[in-house]
């Protein structure tokens, strides 16, 4: 039917179908791509719009309900160039990161603000009131603290007038819907593509014949094997998405199912089906680690490894086995487990490829590495790198899963080559939560031997099985070797492969898993000997930065008021836990930044990208500082890589800030020294570039691997967490988290704080809620939607206090390194230790769901 409606004060007429919903009208018919489609099931709120002033979900609201209504989308909140006070508050208090959930949040927050102000004037709403009002929104980056700050400040009337402060230079674009993500790209003549996936966990695929007129490509490996349910088999393109779905569904895929194994325990039994039968197969196994395994390790059936990281490993083993035989009290052993955590980037994996000009391939790609992907694409499709352009102006989160050449890109590019037309391939939420990676589940055994009198550490062994499905690359055990470094020790990492979806790098790969094992055990040692867990760590830890964090944490009132473990009674029990984190320092020495003047404005560019981590702001602040101007006076051009762009770092391994900052400062300084600071007199085209280079004489490892150098020194983190356990219902609430982060000088403090707050929130998800579940009979993912895959909500956010220790990195240009990884390592373990302190029951398996907590407490009662 045809309906008329008013959208952002403009009358519109559209033809809509019976099953269409509002988001289809806005995005597809009217081209208003500010409204984002994320969950498609009314859970996340990203598509929230106002209909006659009331917030509704555009993904579920029938298109017909817009008839003769006044619709307001994120594009319509501002009054011309003047942002709404709520938008200004979000910009000032950094209530956003990647920006993909932001349109829904800010639209609903405007509705709440306007209601609240009408009823309550400038009285500040409590956190509880804000959480209730915005309970229909999720943010995977974990920008919730910023949202609370922004909404409260706007309601206090603090942003009613004035231009306001913009902490994140691209916040206005994200808050008005102007930011163009890959999913928003529409090209003339574009085809729509979908991936046909396996719905069995193992099988051999026969020849596929695409029907006449169907644009299709295979996505299988040379062995034509399917190894997990959800694995891509082929991609097809058609004039519409609905048509592409139909063609994909009806495509004849001759598949002979084979036996498979999903349970890691069964996978290592004799006679279990082999995930990789031949040496050649094993070489193609994907990795859940970052940067690949440095040493080749052996295979035994479905076991890959162990990969050993020893320091006097034989001594460590001997000491522990004799202590075990003697039943020594100084030996503490723990076996713990974790469950796969899904990245859940709100912008799904998405690609629009345009290869209609045979000499030039343009690829819009939601990626963490525009420059790296340009090279990968050129290599894969046999092009010269100068013939390829990769664009990712805005990236709606990645968290590690968008670092490689993934099937949506291969599919879209291949189809565009065939069709000689642009092709769009965007995963739906089900695919995103099935097939794009996860932080592998694990099982780890830790043995920690201490001197019974002094609790001096005598030996440490960590054996960790990584359950990355078809992927290898577990590193949890080896990472546990890097904290308490004054003892004989041995790590053995094993990958137990199964026919489950592959793991992929996820913020601090292996880190939170490692901390869950090691830091739970350290906590157990402290408990057994009645030691203060912070003092005990300080006794063992040789890292001076973490020593500073121990002093900071030990003085916190939250810590000083901590009560003895298990001493609480009653229904609600509070407890405080601590856990330490560690990460390596890597840098991209080839990073380049170019700074120039165009029409009197500063322009800085580099072929890197900003997925919400703030690289655009870091570059702006670096250049602005040199010229003594506000960061908003610098145009930062990122998110584009072609033959003429300066090489920029991938957003992975916490390398972007440390690579970009000093390089941008150097380029800007060279330019300033040449042209001065009165830009109005500078002719267009004045340009200076700089290249980062390594830290002279300060490398930890004298080689460059995969484009990065490992620099000297470890970053450090410490999380002190207070929880409240409801022993009646098994529910754990995290009340307060203090995060100490030692990465040297912080170049964009507000954004850095946001990223560290997000790490805490993702850690709470890992600790308490997030639980990938596969069907044991098919290997299909059951938790492939945001109802069943439960990520933290606004109301689950504790009060978060982030403390930066800024010393200790003077050997690094700019004095500070990245924090994306180190900040994620210890939050989950600190939650577990807090639950132990509260209840006297030690959680061993993540997530600590209500059913596990109730079972644990019941066992504790009968013991």
Partner 1 sequence: MSGLTILTAYDERPDGLGPGDAVYRAGGTDLQERLRTTGATPHVLDLTGVPGFAGIERAGTGTTIGAGTTVEALTRELAADYPALALTAAGLATPQVRATATIGGNLLQRTRCWYFRHPHLTCLKCGGDSCPARDGRHLYGVAFDTAPCVHPHPSSLAMALLTYAATVTTTQRDGLTIGDLLGDGSDPSRDHLLGDDEVLTRVTLPPPVAGEQGAYYRAISRFEAEWPLVEAVCRVARDDAGTITSCGVAIGGVAPTPLRLKAVEAMLTGSTLDDDVVAAAASAATAGASPLPETGYKVDLVEATVREVLERVRS
Residues near partner 1 (CB under 8 A):
1, 15-21, 40-43, 45, 48, 54-57, 59-62, 64-65, 108, 131-133, 135-136, 199, 242, 245-246, 249, 430, 728-731, 768-769, 773-778, 780, 782-785, 787-788, 790, 792-796, 849-851, 854-855, 858
Q: How far is the CB of 774 from partner 1 (least distance, A)?
A: 8
Q: How far is the CB of 826 from partner 1 (least distance, A)?
A: 22
Token couple for 375: 């090279």
Phi, psi values for residue 804, rounded to 5°:
-100, 125
Do residues 778 and 123 touch, judged by C-beta distance below 8 A?
no
DSSP 486: S
Q: How far is the CB of 492 from partner 1 (least distance, A)?
A: 31
Helix axes 144-155, 749-764, angle to 10 degrees: 120
Residue position matching structure tokens 């639209």: 107
Beta strands in 339-437 (DSSP E): 341-342, 350-357, 360-365, 388-391, 423-426
Choice between 243 and 485, CB closer to partner 1: 243
Q: How far is the CB of 263 from partner 1 (least distance, A)?
A: 12
For 644, the 3-state DSSP assignment is coil
Q: Which residues on neighbouring strands pair with residue 348, listed in sequence order?
A: none
Choice between 289 and 792, CB closer to partner 1: 792
Q: How far is the CB of 108 from partner 1 (least distance, A)?
A: 8
DSSP 228: S
Closest by CA to 219, choosing from 253, 261, 182, is: 253
Q: How far is the CB of 651 from partner 1 (least distance, A)?
A: 29
Residues 6+ apart with CB under 8 A from 283: none
Q: Is 67 left (phi over 0), alpha (psi -120 to 50) or beta?
A: beta
Rounded CA separation 629/173 (Å): 21
Choice between 252 and 855, CB closer to partner 1: 855
Strand pairing class (601-605; 634-637): parallel
Choice between 153 and 774, CB closer to partner 1: 774
Q: How far is the CB of 196 from partner 1 (least distance, A)?
A: 11
Q: How far is the CB of 608 from partner 1 (least distance, A)?
A: 35
Choice between 227 and 849, CB closer to partner 1: 849
Do residues 517 and 462 touch, judged by C-beta distance below 8 A?
yes
Do residues 424 and 192 touch, judged by C-beta distance below 8 A?
yes
Choice between 242 and 701, CB closer to partner 1: 242
For 715, the 3-state DSSP assignment is strand
Give 853's Cβ-side CA count (13 Å radius). 25
Rounded CA separation 276/285 (Å): 8
Q: How far is the CB of 296 from partner 1 (least distance, A)?
A: 36
Beta strands in 127-273 (DSSP E): 191-197, 203-205, 215-218, 225-226, 232-238, 255-257
Strand pairing class (457-467; 489-496): parallel
Q: How far is the CB of 181 from partner 1 (least distance, A)?
A: 20
Rounded CA separation 319/451 (Å): 11
Choice between 43 and 139, CB closer to partner 1: 43
Choice between 636 and 768, CB closer to partner 1: 768
Choice between 29 and 601, CB closer to partner 1: 29
Do residues 349 and 406 touch, judged by C-beta distance below 8 A?
yes
Q: How far is the CB of 863 from partner 1 (least distance, A)?
A: 17
Choice between 53 and 644, CB closer to partner 1: 53
Query: 3-state SS of the chain: helix, strand, coil percent to 5?
Result: 30, 25, 40
Rounded CA separation 136/105 (Å): 9
Choice between 525 and 768, CB closer to partner 1: 768
Q: How far is the CB of 859 from partner 1 (least distance, A)?
A: 12
Choice between 494 and 768, CB closer to partner 1: 768
Q: How far is the CB of 791 from partner 1 (least distance, A)?
A: 9
Choice between 198 and 514, CB closer to partner 1: 198
Rounded CA separation 245/291 (Å): 35
Do residues 156 and 88 touch, judged by C-beta distance below 8 A?
no
Strand pairing class (708-726; 699-705): antiparallel
């Amino acid at each position: 039917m045809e309906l008329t409606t008013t959208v952002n004060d403009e009358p519109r007429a559209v033809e809509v179908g019976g099953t269409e919903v509002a988001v289809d009208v806005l995005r597809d018919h009217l081209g208003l791509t500010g409204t984002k489609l994320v969950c498609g099931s009314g859970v996340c709120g990203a598509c929230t719009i106002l209909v006659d002033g009331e917030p509704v979900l555009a993904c579920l609201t029938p298109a017909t309900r817009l008839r003769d209504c006044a619709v307001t989308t994120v594009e319509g909140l501002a009054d011309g160039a003047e942002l709404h006070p709520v938008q200004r508050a979000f910009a000032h208090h950094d209530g956003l990161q990647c920006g993909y959930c932001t349109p829904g949040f800010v639209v609903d927050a405007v509705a709440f603000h306007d209601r609240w102000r009408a009823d309550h004037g400038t009285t500040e709403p409590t956190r509880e009131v804000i959480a209730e009002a915005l309970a229909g929104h999720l943010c995977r980056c974990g920008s919730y603290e910023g949202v609370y700050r922004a909404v409260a400040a706007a309601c206090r009337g603090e942003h009613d007038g004035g231009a306001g402060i913009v902490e994140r230079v691209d916040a206005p674009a994200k808050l008005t819907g102007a930011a163009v993500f890959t999913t928003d790209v529409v090209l003339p003549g574009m085809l729509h593509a979908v991936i046909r996936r396996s719905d069995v966990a193992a099988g051999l695929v026969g020849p596929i014949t695409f029907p006449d007129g169907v644009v299709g490509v295979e996505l299988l490996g040379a062995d034509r094997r399917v190894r997990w349910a959800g694995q891509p088999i082929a991609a097809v393109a058609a004039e519409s998405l609905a048509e592409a779905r139909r063609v994909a569904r009806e495509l004849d895929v001759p598949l002979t199912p084979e036996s498979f194994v999903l349970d890691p325990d069964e996978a290592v039994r004799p006679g279990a089906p082999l995930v990789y039968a031949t040496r050649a197969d094993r070489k193609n196994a994907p990795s859940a680690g970052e940067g690949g395994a440095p040493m080749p390790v052996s295979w035994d059936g479905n076991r890959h490894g162990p990969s050993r990281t020893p320091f006097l490993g034989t001594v460590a083993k001997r000491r522990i086995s004799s202590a075990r035989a003697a039943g020594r009290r100084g030996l503490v052993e723990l076996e713990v487990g974790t469950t796969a955590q899904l990245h859940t980037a709100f912008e799904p994996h998405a690609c629009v490829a345009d290869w209609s000009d045979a000499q030039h391939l343009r690829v819009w790609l939601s990626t963490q590495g525009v420059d790296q992907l340009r090279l990968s694409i050129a290599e894969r499709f046999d092009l010269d790198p100068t013939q390829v352009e990769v664009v990712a102006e805005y990236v709606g989160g990645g968290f590690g899963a968008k670092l490689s050449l993934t099937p949506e890109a291969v599919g879209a590019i291949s189809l565009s080559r065939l069709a000689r037309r642009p092709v769009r391939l965007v995963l739906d939420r089900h695919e995103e939560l099935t097939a794009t990676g996860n932080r592998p589940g694990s099982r780890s055994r830790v043995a920690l031997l201490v001197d019974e009198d002094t609790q001096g550490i005598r030996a440490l062994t960590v054996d960790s099985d990584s359950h990355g499905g078809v992927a290898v690359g577990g590193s949890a055990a080896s990472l546990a070797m890097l904290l308490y470094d004054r003892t004989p020790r041995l790590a053995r990492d094993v990958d137990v492969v199964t026919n489950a979806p592959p793991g992929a790098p996820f913020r601090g790969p292996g880190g939170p898993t490692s901390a869950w094992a090691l830091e739970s055990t350290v906590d157990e040692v402290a408990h057994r000997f009645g030691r203060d867990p912070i003092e005990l760590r300080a006794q063992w830890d040789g890292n001076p930065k973490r020593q500073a964090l121990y002093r900071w944490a030990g003085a916190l009132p939250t810590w000083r008021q901590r009560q003895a473990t298990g001493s609480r009674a009653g229904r609600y029990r509070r407890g405080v836990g601590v856990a330490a984190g560690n990460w390596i320092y890597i840098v991209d020495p080839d990073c380049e930044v170019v700074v120039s003047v165009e029409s009197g404005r500063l322009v800085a560019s580099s072929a890197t990208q900003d997925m919400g981590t703030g690289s655009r702001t870091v570059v702006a602040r670096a250049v602005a500082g040199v010229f003594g101007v506000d960061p908003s006076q610098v145009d930062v051009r990122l998110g584009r890589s072609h033959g003429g762009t300066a090489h920029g770092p991938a957003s992975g391994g916490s390398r972007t800030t440390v690579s970009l900052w000093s390089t941008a400062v150097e380029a800007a300084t060279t330019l300033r020294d040449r042209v001065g600071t009165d830009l109005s007199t500078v002719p267009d085209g004045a340009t200076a570039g700089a290249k980062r280079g390594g830290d002279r004489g300060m490398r930890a490892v004298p080689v460059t691997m995969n484009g990065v150098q490992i620099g000297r020194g470890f970053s450090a983190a410490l999380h002190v967490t207070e929880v409240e356990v409801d022993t009646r219902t098994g529910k754990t609430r995290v009340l307060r988290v203090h995060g100490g982060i030692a990465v040297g000088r912080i170049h964009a403090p507000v954004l850095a704080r946001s990223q560290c707050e997000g790490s805490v929130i993702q850690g709470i998800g890992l600790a308490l809620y997030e639980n990938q579940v596969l069907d044991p009979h098919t290997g299909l993912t059951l938790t492939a939607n945001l109802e069943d895959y439960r990520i933290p909500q606004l109301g689950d956010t504790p009060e978060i206090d982030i403390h930066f220790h800024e010393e200790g990195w003077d050997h690094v240009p700019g004095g500070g390194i990245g924090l994306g990884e180190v900040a994620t390592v210890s939050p989950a373990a600190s939650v577990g230790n807090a639950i132990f302190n509260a209840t006297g029951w030690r959680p061993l398996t993540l997530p600590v769901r209500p059913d596990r907590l109730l079972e644990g407490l019941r066992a504790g009662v009968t013991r």
